[in-house]
Amino acid sequence: MSARIIDGKAIAAELRGKVTMEVHRLRRDRGIVPGLAVVLVGANPASEVYVGSKKKMTVDSGMRSFDYRLADTAGESELLALIQRLNGDPDVNGILVQLPLPAHINSQNVIAAIDPSKDVDGFHPMNAGRLATGLPALVPCTPFGCVILAKTVHASLEGLNAVVIGRSNIVGKPLAQLLSAENATVTIAHSRTRDLPAVCRGADLLFAAIGRAEMVNGDYIKQGATVIDVGINRVPGEGGKSRIVGDVMFADASAIAGAISPVPGGVGPMTIACLLVNTLRAASARAGLPLPAI
Ligand code: NDP
């Protein structure tokens, strides 16, 4: 049996379509145009690509996009001053500082300087705390997208056994909290977990957010499980070119799983779509409007 492929590209396109409709409605009924400011420090080629597609999709959805580029020699104080300015700018509803930052800048100081109501990455300790305590929050985009993908397979996640491999602040931890809020029974696995394949074989929902190319093979997967692959790993490909693979060995896993998200074309497109959802939500909240039902 071969697993159903979870088409993140199509699901993300549908989500962006809903955002576009809500942005249009906000502009028509309230004269509000949500704005997203993206700050890039230095010239990291991968970050340039991410920032370029974020900008395009922001504009395509009818929102305003504001681009800020600082040289990699820019100091932390310069970046903090820019964030203060964006915090006070009424046209800016979302602020995203592209990570990683150059080593001389403390990312935690930068994240903490962002107004939590404009923190569309959901990394501010205030939003992390609100998520952990079950209060409404701007939640990190990648885990947000993972849960949406899982819910395209299972109408409800209630009572399902979920295993999240990875416990980073960006993916694993917030993902575990979102799944718990969906009433799944959640296990967080990591590099010190004993007999990881056996732990994973207990999962109805398996999320791999590790950063190790194709580590999760068929031995980790329960028959019929739903597998969401968060990993983005660059490995040598044919003709000296590199290619992107996930944390899951796709062919092996799809022979056992019931449903599986591919890399590329799974979680990746969802991350940007959820960034747009967060920006729309931030703009609605700032205007005192109810959150759009997306
Ligand atoms: P981190 O490096 O911050 O975290 C990796 C996690 O994996 C850690 O918790 C680590 O455990 C765990 N881990 C590492 N090796 C093993 C192992 N051998 N067995 C079990 N667990 C292990 O990575 P991120 O969370 O930032 O990212 C994870 C992956 O997701 C990466 O490939 C990244 O590129 C990708 N990603 C994709 C996004 C997207 O949009 N699709 C967005 C963000 C990330 P420990 O805590 O013990 O060290």
Residue 193: HSE in the Cβ half-sphere, 13 Å Cα cutoff: 17
Average pLDDT over the chain, rounded to whole? 97
What percent of the chain lies above the pLDDT cut of 70?
Answer: 100
Q: What is the pLDDT of residues 38-49, one digit of tens each?
A: 999 999 888 998
Looking at the structure, do residues 146 and 110 belong to the same domain, yes or no? no
Residue 189 maps to a domain: yes
For 2-50, the pLDDT digits (tens) are 999 999 999 999 999 999 999 999 999 999 999 999 999 999 888 998 8
Q: Is residue 122 part of a domain?
A: no
The beta strands (E) that lie in the chain are given as: 4-5, 35-41, 64-70, 94-97, 161-165, 185-189, 205-208, 226-229, 233-236, 242-245, 259-260
3-state secondary structure of 172: helix
pTM greater than 0.85 (yes/no): yes
Q: Which residue has the higher pLDDT, 166 or 294?
A: 166
Q: How many domains does the chain have?
A: 2
Whether 110 and 150 share a structural domain: no
Residue 136 located in a structural domain? no
Residue 17, both tokens: 């379509």
Mutation to probe ligand 1, out of 190, 195, 207 (largest number of atoms < 8 A from CB):
190
Ligand 1 mean position, distance from CA 211 (Å): 4
Q: Which domain holds residue 50?
A: 30-115
Mean pLDDT of 143-147: 98
Residue identifier of the C-alpha nearest atom 48 of ligand 1:
191
65/182 same-domain check: no
What is the pLDDT at residue 120? Answer: 98
How many angstroms separate the CA atoms of 273 and 146, rounded?
12
Q: 147 and 83, same structural domain? A: no
Residue 161 has pLDDT above 90, yes or no: yes
Question: What is the chain's alpha carbon radius of gyration, rounded to the nearest angstrom?
Answer: 19
∠ CA 194-189-242, nearest 5°, is 105
Q: Is 151 a catalytic residue?
A: no
**Ligand 1 centroid – CA 151 distance (Å):** 22
- 8 within domain boundaries: no
- Does 149 fall in a domain? yes
- 150 and 264 share one domain: yes
Name every residue whose Cβ is closer than 8 Å to that of residue 90 and which is 6 or more positions away in sequence. Answer: none
Q: In the chain, what percentage of residues exceed pLDDT 90?
A: 95
CATH of the domain at 73: 3.40.50.10860
Does residue 177 have an active-site annotation? Answer: no
Q: Exactly one of 118, 119, 121, 173 is catalytic; which is it?
A: 121
Q: Are residues 165 and 217 in the same domain?
A: yes
294 in any annotated domain: no
- Give the pLDDT score at 129: 98
In a domain, 1, yes or no: no
| CATH code where residue 151 lies | 3.40.50.720
Dump pLDDT digits (tens) for 251-267.
Answer: 999 999 999 999 999 99
| Ligand 1 centroid distance, CA of 250 (Å) | 17
Task: Give the mean model confidence (pLDDT) for residues 175-179.
Answer: 98
Q: How far is the CA of 232 from the centre of ligand 1 (A)?
A: 9
At 75, is the secondary structure helix, strand, or coil?
coil
| Domain match, 183 and 259 both | yes
At residue 186, the 3 state secondary structure works out as: strand
Instruction: Looking at the structure, tell me whether residues 73 and 187 fall in a common domain.
Output: no
Q: Measured at the alpha carbon of residue 130, what is the angle toward residues 269 and 247, in degrees to the nearest 5?
A: 35
Which residue ranges have their beta carbon within 6 Å of ligand 1? 142, 165-168, 170-172, 190-193, 196, 209-212, 230-233, 267-268, 271
Examine the residue annotation and report whether 54 is marked as an active-site residue of this protein.
yes
For residue 118, give the nearest of 143, 86, 147 by alpha carbon.
86
73 in a domain, yes or no? yes
Confirm if 162 and 184 have CB atoms less than 8 A apart.
yes
As a whole number of Å, the end-to-end CA separation of the chain is 34
Tell me: do 147 and 232 sit in the same domain: yes
The reply to whether 94 and 204 lie within a common domain is: no
Residues 149 and 239 in one domain: yes
Please identify which of the residues 98, 119, 173, 247 carries the catalytic annotation. 98
Same domain, 145 and 111: no
On whether the CB atoms of residues 1 and 255 are closer than 8 A, the answer is yes
